[in-house]
Structure 1
Amino acid sequence: MIVQIRGKLLDLDQSYAVVEVDSIAYEVMLPGYCVSSLSGSIGKEVTLCTMEYYEGTPGGGNLIPRLVGFNTRGERDFFAIYTGVKGMGIRKGLKSLAMPIETIAAAIENEDEKFLKSLPGVGPRLAQHIIAELSGKLVTFAMQGYSGGGEGKGIKADFTDYQIEALEILIAWGEKRNEAIELVQKTVQNHPDIKSSEELVPLIYKLKQGGEV
């Protein structure tokens, strides 16, 4: 499987890029937000994290290999989860990603059906499926600057691993993302000596119930 491609960006369309690697040009399908991020890079060297899939009907003998590209490994990981939703698929998934990954992931975590319905190709029923199947599973992706292992910005940079784990627990238990973030931040500020989610979560709920922490 081809998981990364690095080369000169020869062409950029609304849905794909052409990348030259050692005199061979590869067509790489892209989500909309990725096309925007590459708009000033024609003629320059670019690196895309990629995934392969075959398009067509297996029984028909006309399977066509395709490459799909992303800016980071984290974006590729998100896409693999996102396209697992019933009724989504690769093509529809690419078309719908007109906004940055963290923005869409945050909307899913906040169960913002109105926002999801505004994405290209996502109607009311699919928006409901996305929320039902993925809410609570995209906390890390929803954090601004998530890069799948690289140095990030925003919440991922501010939160330690155990704080992120506590945040995931809160959201899995039904807390809204933004409210959970505030609870974690306030409790950690009051208890800077805490070093594990096991210690942090009970104190957060004590705070939420109006107790002193």
Structure 2
Amino acid sequence: MFARLKGIVDEIGADHAVIDVHGVGYLVQASRRTLGALGGTGAEAVLHIETHVREDHIHLYGFVDRSERDWFRLLVTVQGVGAKVALAVLSVLEPGALAAAIAAQDARPPARATGVGPKLAKRIVMELRDKAALVGIGAADVAVLARSMRTPEAAAAAAAAKSPDIAAFDDALSALVNLGYRESEAEPALRRVADAAGETAADVQLLLRGALKELAR
């Protein structure tokens, strides 16, 4: 079984690359995100590999980072999502954006992928919400959302030191950063949600859900 390939990019196609490792060319299927990160023919590449072995073939799927590979593994557990569709989803959504869509239960972003209709997109966000939280697949997964929320005791301590709306804003911002968003993009989204929320701006989950929807657009 292959777990990683390190070699020279010999060819890049629409949905695959050929990686030359000591004279042997490995055909690796990949998302557009990964293919775009390879640097072109002749560049040195390191890919994390998921190997699928069937009776009549062995397919290698390559990923520029472990987070994308782990989301691929989860995506193919959803009924109706095969390897091709999983790569299509990862071609239009980076791991942080996919996590945001799942956390917000917004089926519109994955529905942009080729081969994903509205029903399948809804199934993806619904099924992966529980699966991602269960296995905890890295810095950009939905499990971080839950871990980033303060415990009741910590929330009470924070409230004693800060006004409720400021404490809630800071907690929501921390959760978004832990999900993989840059603070420079997360904070403006939170500001828009907080301004619209008015008196309910002290509700962390309301702020977070609203900001995730903003960022998933």
On whether the aligned pair clears a TM of 0.5, the verdict is yes
Structure 1 alignment gaps of length 5 or more: 149-160, 171-181, 190-206
Partner residue of 1:167? 149
Structure 2 alignment gaps of length 5 or more: 153-166, 175-201, 205-217
Deviations 1:33-85 (A, max 9, x none): 211222x3320111000011035xx4xxxx11010000112211111011111
Q: Give, in angstroms, the shift of residue 136 of structure 1.
A: 4.9
User: TM-score w.r.t. structure 1 length?
Assistant: 0.63
Partner residue of 1:130? 124
Q: Give, in angstroms, the shift of residue 186 of structure 1.
A: 3.9
Aligned residue for 1:135, secondary structure, equals helix
Of Structure 1 and Structure 2, the greater helix share is in 2
Q: Which amino acid aligns with 2:51?
A: E
Q: Which amino acid aligns with 2:53?
A: Y
Deviations 1:140-196 (A, max 9, x none): 7696xx4x9xxxxxxxxxxxx8x86243999xxxxxxxxxxx83734999xxxxxxx
Kindly indicate whether the alpha-carbon contact (under 8 Å) linking 2:68 and 2:90 is maintained by their aligned counterparts in 1. Answer: no
Give the whole-Å Cα distance in 1 for the aligned partners of 2:114 and 2:173: 39
Q: Are the structure 2 counterparts of residues 50 and 169 from structure 1 closer, same or farther at C-alpha, using a change threshold of 3 Å?
A: farther
Partner residue of 1:104? 98
Percent sequence identity over matched residues? 25
Q: Are the structure 2 counterparts of residues 142 and 167 from structure 1 closer, same or farther at C-alpha, using a change threshold of 3 Å?
A: farther
Aligned residue for 1:117, secondary structure, equals helix
Q: Give, in angstroms, the shift of residue 119 of structure 1.
A: 1.7
Partner residue of 1:87? 80
User: TM-score w.r.t. structure 2 length?
Assistant: 0.62
Q: Which amino acid aligns with 1:165?
A: R
Q: Give, in angstroms, the shift of residue 114 of structure 1.
A: 1.9
- How many equivalent residue pairs? 158
Partner residue of 1:68? 61
Q: Which amino acid aligns with 1:26?
A: Y
